[in-house]
Every structure is written in structure tokens, then in C-alpha cells.
Amino acid sequence: MKRIPLAILAFFFLSFAGEDRVTRHFETHDFRGDYETRQGRFDGTYTSYYTNGQLRATGRFENNLRTGKWSVWDSTGRLRMQRVYTDPFTFKRLHPKVPKEKVITLLNVAPYTPAYNHQGIIAYYPLREQSVVWARRIWRWVTPPDNAVLFERNRLFSALNREIFARTLTPYQPTDDEFRCRIDPPTIDTANATVIGYKIKEDCLFDRERLVTETRIIGLCPVVVYTHRPDTADLYWVYFPESRLCLGREKISQPGFPEKVSTLDDLFFYRCFDSEIYKEANVYDRALATYAAGAALGAEAQRIEISLIEEEHGQWIRLTQ
């Protein structure tokens, strides 16, 4: 089984623990700026600049998702896109002005509004492969600080285990986040395991049909420690779309969460969790910790996080060229 060094665990546990809203600064090769977080989540104002000092983007996040007015400029100072969000998938475009011709006005009509299906979970938008113009695969690390609802009374861990041992959810080998090698449930030792975090594998993509970026979780992996040994171990992977039904049955109530987040599945759908990137897809299949440590590790995770946001701004600019 893969292990996470204890030094890295300590870094992630302490990174965002116990914070109220704070302002953070970032600088990359291409951009610099500031953003606000609350309980580890993007929450508050976001501002970025080009290296020449020209303003690039301004807007607000709420619980990791865009809200309200967002504006994006090119490096010459020309306003290229301005839109107002009413939810993460619904916006009205203010600039460039939408022509009043009947067909073009569809640019201001949301092609998708989140709604629960007959199974009690929010139906995904039916993506078409040819509509995905950009995508990046990311792995995240989720720990108890600022994620109490996932860990209290082993809520998420118990829900997954219950379905696995009832054989209504398939577990895969802890080294198999491609979901090819199944595990026989009786061989999984959960009795002596204490969950300390979760790995998440997900895809971030830009859909040109809706003109928005969306992130879809692919897999979940509990990371545990055992009573009889001190090191950490990945326990199993589950294919996240298969787990959504059981997570949709797990009712939750958490102060500070939007009213629409009432189940564990809602929590993941609306991104109401704190996490840290520990890997992005690369030709060497290596995690950040293999080439960065300490403050450099946190800076590299932040760089990737910001690049996901700024890539969407780049897509907006290309839409107006």
C-alpha cells in the first residue's frame, strides 16, 4: 500500500486548521494576486494581475464556487468578459453585450440548472466529449480540520463501509485508482483502522456548451492508521459516481453551509470541503511531495490551484477573440 510520510500529514493538518476568513497572496510566473479563504475554502474576494501590473480578474467565491459579478481583462486593459452568477452553472453575460437576435440570446439562457433526479441526487449535465475544450486531472487530500462533517462519528467512512460490506458498492485495490482490480470485502480490515483523511481523484474541465468550468470527482480513497502499526495506509478506492446514491442518503447539517447542502453527496457536488492538491496529472506520475517540501510544497499546491482558476479566465478571453 502507498504511504503518506508523517511530515506531509503534519503539513496538511496544520495548513488551514481553525481559520476564519483570511487573505492570501499568490505569485506565479504569469500572474499575481490575492484571494480570501474561510475554513480553508475559497470564500470572499479574488483579484489577479498580469506581470505588467494590469488587472486581469476580479470576483467573489462562496464555498469554493463563483458567485456574483466576475470581470476579466486582457493584458492591455481591455474588458473582455463580465458575467453575474446566480449559481455555479448559471450566469447572465453583461459584457460583451449579447445581441438581441433570437438565436444569440441563448447565451444568457442557462442550459443546465442543478436538480434532483428520481434517485434523490443531483443529476450531472450530460457532457459531450467534443464540448470539453480543456481538462486537467487532479488528486486532493482531505483532512479533519475544517471538514468536521465528513469525519464526525466516522460519517463518510461508515457510509462507504456499510455499502461495501452489503456489496452494493465496489471497493478497489488501494493502488488502483483506475478501478480495475476489485477487493473482496471480507479481506478489508476496518475494525482496527482509524480514518485520518481521504484522497480524491477528480477532473477539472471547461465545457464550451455551458461556457463554464466544472469539477467532477472520479474516486475516493480512505487513508487510515491501524492500532497495531504507526504508519498510514490507503485502504481502498471507490468509484465516486457509484457511491453517490449512498452519499445522497446521508443527511447532514453544518453551520455555515448553504441551505442547499443537505446530504454528503450535495457537499461534494457543491464543493463544500477543504482540501489540498497533492498531485496533478504528469508524464512522470509523481506527487508534489517528490519534488517539493515544506513551504515549497504549499506554494506548489497553491500554484496549481490558482492555475485552474486562471485557465477559466483564459477560456473567457479566447471566447471573445
Residue 35, domain member (yes or no): yes
Of the chain, the percentage scoring pLDDT greater than 90 comes to 82
Confidence (pLDDT) at 230: 78
Residue 120, domain member (yes or no): no
CA separation (Å) from 296 to 9, 214, 299, 301, 317? 15, 28, 5, 9, 31
Confidence (pLDDT) at 9: 45
Split into its structural domains, the chain has a count of 2
pTM of the model: 0.90
163: which 3 cell numbers?
A: 455499502
Please give the Cα distance from 205 to 314 (Å, whole number).
13
Confidence (pLDDT) at 107: 57
Confidence (pLDDT) at 17: 41
Residue 222, domain member (yes or no): yes
Residue 7, domain member (yes or no): no
pLDDT tens digits, one per residue of 36-45: 999 999 999 9
Confidence (pLDDT) at 14: 40
Mean pLDDT computed over 198-208 = 97
**Residues 141 and 270 both lie in one domain:** yes
Q: Would the pLDDT of 18 be above 90?
A: no
pLDDT tens digits, one per residue of 71-123: 999 999 999 999 999 888 899 999 998 776 655 455 566 678 899 999 999 99
Residue 5, domain member (yes or no): no
Residue carrying C-alpha cell 494590469? 54
Buried b (16+ CB within 10 A) or exposed e, 220-255: bbbbbbeeeeeebbbbbbbbbeebbebbbebebeee
**Residues 111 and 32 both lie in one domain:** yes
User: What residue numbers bound the domain in which 204 lies?
Assistant: 132-281
The better pLDDT of the pair 107, 60 is held by 60
pLDDT tens digits, one per residue of 214-268: 999 999 999 999 988 878 999 999 999 999 999 999 999 888 899 999 999 999 9
Q: Name the strand (E) or helix (H) holding 299.
A: helix 295-319
Confidence (pLDDT) at 110: 65
Mean pLDDT computed over 294-317 = 97
Mean pLDDT computed over 181-194 = 94
Q: Would the pLDDT of 63 be above 50?
A: yes
Confidence (pLDDT) at 8: 42
**Residues 194 and 248 both lie in one domain:** yes
**Residues 60 and 165 both lie in one domain:** no
Helices (H), 174-294: 240-248, 264-269
**Residues 29 and 107 both lie in one domain:** yes
Of the ranges 126-140, 222-236, 283-297, which one carries the lowest mean pLDDT score? 222-236
